Amino acid sequence: TKFPEDTKEQLLPLLLAQAQILHEKLKKHAQAAEIYEKIVEISPRHLEAHAALASIWSNHKQTHGKAITEHLVLLHEDPLRVSSYRELTKLYLEANLYDHAYISCQALNALGRLLPPEQSFLERVPPRVPAGWLDSWTMDNFIRESERGTLYEIMASVDMYTDKAYRQKVVENVKDP
pLDDT tens figures, 96-143: 998 899 889 999 999 999 999 999 998 888 765 555 556 677 667 777
DSSP state of 6: G
Q: For residues 67 and 58, is the Cβ–Cβ distance under 8 A?
A: yes
- The number of helices, as runs of H, and strands, as runs of E, in the chain is 9, 0
pLDDT, position 99: 86
CA dihedral 154, 160, 161, 162 (to 10 degrees): 80
For 36-89, write each residue's pLDDT tens digit. 999 999 999 999 999 999 999 999 899 999 999 999 999 999 999 999 999 999
